[in-house]
C-alpha cells in the first residue's frame, strides 16, 4: 500500500510539473503554425519561433512578480526583495528601497514582503492575486495595441506568444493546488487566496496579539516583548505549532539557542504531519539552523536536507544546507553553494552567515578567494548582526582564528 501511494505521488508530481509546460507548448505551436503557415521554412519554426515562445513565458513571469510587488508597495507591506527566477543569483539592482534580483533559472519568482500578515483580508488577497491581475492586464494592453495584426501571418508573433504565456501563467497560478511547477513544491496563489476567503490561513489575522508579536520580531526587534506576547497567546491554546515556531525565533533573538533547539525538537512529530509543505520546510530549516548553533551537526545535515527537499532552489534553505555540509566535512560542496549565493550589496543573515563560513573555511583549509575582503566586510558590519550571527562570527571567525594562531 505504501509503495502504491508513493507511485501515485510520483505520477501526480510528474503531471503537475510537466503538463503545464506541455500545454503552453501545444498552444504556442498551434498559434505559431497559424502565424507562419506550413509553407515557411522549418528553420524559422525551430529557431525563431520556439525561442520567442520560451522568452515570452519568461517575460510573463517578470510581469507576474511585478504585479505582486505593485500591490505590496501600494499597501505598504515592506517589499524589500523581488526575485525573478530560482537557482543562483545572476545579478541585482536596488531601486525604490527594494532589491530586484535575477536568478539563473527564470521559471518562477517571489516577493519578500515582511509585514503582509499585519493587513486585512482583502489587501492580502489583492497582494496574492496581483501577479495574475498584471498578467491579465498585459493581455488586454497587447491585444488593444496589436489586434489588427495579431492573427496575420508573420506579423507581431511575439505579442501573440506573450498573450498565450500570460493567460496560462495567470490562470494556472490561480488554481488552488500545490505543485512543483514554480521551482519547488509550493502552494499556488489560488490556494492561499482560498484559505484567506475561508478564514483557514495558518495565521489567524483576527488575532491582534499574534500580529503584534510578528511585528515586534520582524520590525522592532524587541524579542523579549515579542516572547512575552507569544507566551500569553499560548495560554489561549490557539495556533500551537505556528506559535511555537514563532517562539523559537524570539528565543534566537534573545540568544537562547539551546532553548530554541529543545523547543523545536519537542514538536518534531507534530510538525511532520503538517499539511502545508512550505511551513514544514520552514520548520526543518529553522531546526537545522538551531542545530548548527548548538553544534548538533548530524541533526543540521538531516534537517537541512529535509528543508531543501521540496524547495531545492530557495537560497535561504540552500545556505543552511551549505553550512551543514561544511560542518560535516563536505567542504567543497558547501563552499560552492555559499559563494554562488553571496551578495554583498544586500545585507541580510544569508550574507553574514555565508561570509562567516567562507572565512572559517579559509582559516581551516586556506583555499577561499577574497577571504580577507569578506573578513573586513564582517568587521565593518558587526553592529548589524543579530544575536545568532554575532555568536557564529565570534566563534567561527574571531576565536577560531586566535586558536589557529596559538597552535
Domain ranges (residues) in the chain: 2-198, 202-254, 257-406
User: In this model, does residue 80 exceed pLDDT 90?
Assistant: no
pLDDT band at 204 (very low <50, low <70, confident <90, very high): very low
Better-predicted residue by pLDDT, 156 or 336: 336
- Interatomic CA distance for residues 129 and 132, integer angstroms: 6
**Exposure b/e, 3-23, CB count within 10 A at least 16 = b:** eeeeeeeeeeeeebeeebeee
Average pLDDT over residues 276-289: 78
CA distance 353 to 385: 10
pLDDT category, 278, cuts 50, 70, 90? low
If we measure between CA atoms, which residue out of 195, 208, 155 comes closest to residue 37?
155
> How far is residue 164 CA from its own chain's centroid?
26
pTM of the model: 0.59
pLDDT band at 293 (very low <50, low <70, confident <90, very high): very high
- Per the DSSP assignment, residues forming a β-bridge with 178 are 187
Q: Is the pLDDT of residue 244 over 80?
A: yes
pLDDT of residue 381: 83
List alpha helices for 90-153, DSSP H: 121-146
- Take residue 158 and report the three cell numbers written for it: 511575439
Question: What pLDDT is stored for residue 138 in this prediction?
Answer: 93
| Residue 183: predicted pLDDT | 53
pLDDT in tens, 338-392: 887 776 665 565 678 888 888 888 877 776 667 788 888 888 888 888 888 899 8
CATH class given for the domain over 257-406: mainly alpha
Strands (DSSP E) found in 114-238: 178-179, 186-187
End-to-end CA, the chain = 58
Is the model more confident about 180 or about 119? 119
Nine-digit cell string for 192 = 492561499
Asked if pLDDT for residue 43 goes beyond 50, the answer is no
What is the structure's pLDDT at 248? 87
Q: Is 148 exposed, middle or buried (0-12, 13-18, 19+ CB in 10 A)?
A: exposed
What is each CA distance from 192 to 12, 95, 188, 210, 281, in whole angstroms?
20, 28, 7, 19, 17
Burial per residue of 94-129, b for 16 or more beta-carbon CB atoms within 10 angstroms, e otherwise? eeeebbbbbbeebbbbbbbbbbbbbbeeebbbbbbb
Q: Is the pLDDT of residue 329 over 80?
A: yes
Q: What is the pLDDT of residue 214?
A: 63
Is 186 exposed, middle or buried (CB count within 10 Å of its CB: 0-12, 13-18, 19+)? buried
CA–CA separation, 355 and 371 (whole Å) = 8
Bridge-based pairing of strands 178-179 and 98-113 is unpaired
CA–CA separation, 236 and 204 (whole Å): 13
**Cβ 333 vs Cβ 325: under 8 Å:** yes
Residue 39, pLDDT score: 46
**Highest mean pLDDT, choosing among 42-56, 123-137, 321-335:** 123-137
Please say whether the beta carbons of 186 and 278 come within 8 A. Answer: yes
When mean pLDDT is compared over 269-273, 346-350, 400-404, the highest value belongs to 400-404
> How many other C-beta atoms lie within 10 A of the C-beta of residue 41?
10
Amino acid at each position: 500500500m505504501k509503495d502504491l501511494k508513493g507511485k501515485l505521488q510520483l505520477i501526480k508530481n510528474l503531471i503537475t510539473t510537466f503538463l503545464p509546460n506541455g500545454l503552453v507548448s501545444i498552444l504556442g505551436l498551434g498559434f505559431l503554425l497559424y502565424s507562419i503557415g506550413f509553407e515557411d521554412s522549418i528553420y524559422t519554426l525551430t529557431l525563431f519561433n520556439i525561442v520567442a515562445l520560451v522568452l515570452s513565458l519568461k517575460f510573463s513571469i517578470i510581469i507576474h512578480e511585478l504585479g505582486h510587488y505593485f500591490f505590496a508597495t501600494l499597501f505598504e507591506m515592506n517589499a524589500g526583495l523581488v526575485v525573478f527566477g530560482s537557482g543562483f543569483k545572476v545579478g541585482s539592482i536596488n531601486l525604490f528601497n527594494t532589491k530586484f534580483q535575477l536568478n539563473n533559472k527564470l521559471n518562477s519568482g517571489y516577493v519578500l514582503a515582511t509585514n503582509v500578515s499585519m493587513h486585512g483580508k482583502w489587501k492580502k488577497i489583492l497582494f496574492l492575486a496581483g501577479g495574475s491581475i498584471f498578467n491579465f492586464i498585459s493581455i488586454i494592453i497587447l491585444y488593444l495595441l496589436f489586434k489588427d495584426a495579431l492573427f496575420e501571418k508573420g506579423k507581431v508573433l511575439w505579442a501573440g506568444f506573450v498573450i498565450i504565456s500570460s493567460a496560462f501563467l495567470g490562470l494556472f497560478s490561480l488554481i488552488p493546488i500545490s505543485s512543483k511547477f514554480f521551482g519547488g513544491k509550493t502552494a499556488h496563489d489560488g490556494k492561499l487566496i482560498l484559505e484567506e476567503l475561508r478564514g483557514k490561513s495558518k495565521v489567524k489575522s483576527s488575532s491582534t496579539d499574534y500580529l503584534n508579536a510578528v511585528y515586534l520580531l520582524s520590525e522592532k526587534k524587541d524579542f523579549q516583548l515579542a516572547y512575552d506576547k507569544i507566551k500569553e497567546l499560548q495560554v489561549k491554546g490557539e495556533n500551537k505549532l505556528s506559535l511555537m515556531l514563532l517562539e523559537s525565533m524570539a528565543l534566537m533573538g534573545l540568544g537562547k539557542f539551546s532553548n530554541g533547539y529543545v523547543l523545536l525538537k519537542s514538536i518534531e512529530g507534530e510538525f511532520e504531519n503538517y499539511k502545508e509543505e512550505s511551513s514544514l520546510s520552514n520548520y526543518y530549516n529553522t531546526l537545522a539552523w538551531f542545530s548548527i548553533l548548538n553544534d548538533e551537526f548530524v541533526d543540521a545535515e538531516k534537517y537541512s536536507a529535509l528543508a531543501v527537499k521540496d524547495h531545492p532552489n530557495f537560497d535561504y534553505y540552500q545556505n543552511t544546507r551549505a553550512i551543514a555540509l561544511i560542518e560535516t566535512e563536505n567542504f567543497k560542496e558547501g563552499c560552492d553553494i555559499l559563494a554562488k549565493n553571496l551578495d554583498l550589496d544586500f545585507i541580510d543573515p544569508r550574507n553574514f552567515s555565508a561570509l562567516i563560513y567562507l572565512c572559517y573555511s579559509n582559516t581551516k583549509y586556506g583555499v577561499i578567494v577574497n577571504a580577507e575582503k569578506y573578513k573586513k566586510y564582517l568587521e565593518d558590519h558587526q553592529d548589524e548582526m543579530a544575536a545568532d550571527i554575532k555568536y557564529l562570527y565570534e566563534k567561527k571567525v574571531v576565536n577560531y582564528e586566535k586558536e589557529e594562531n596559538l597552535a
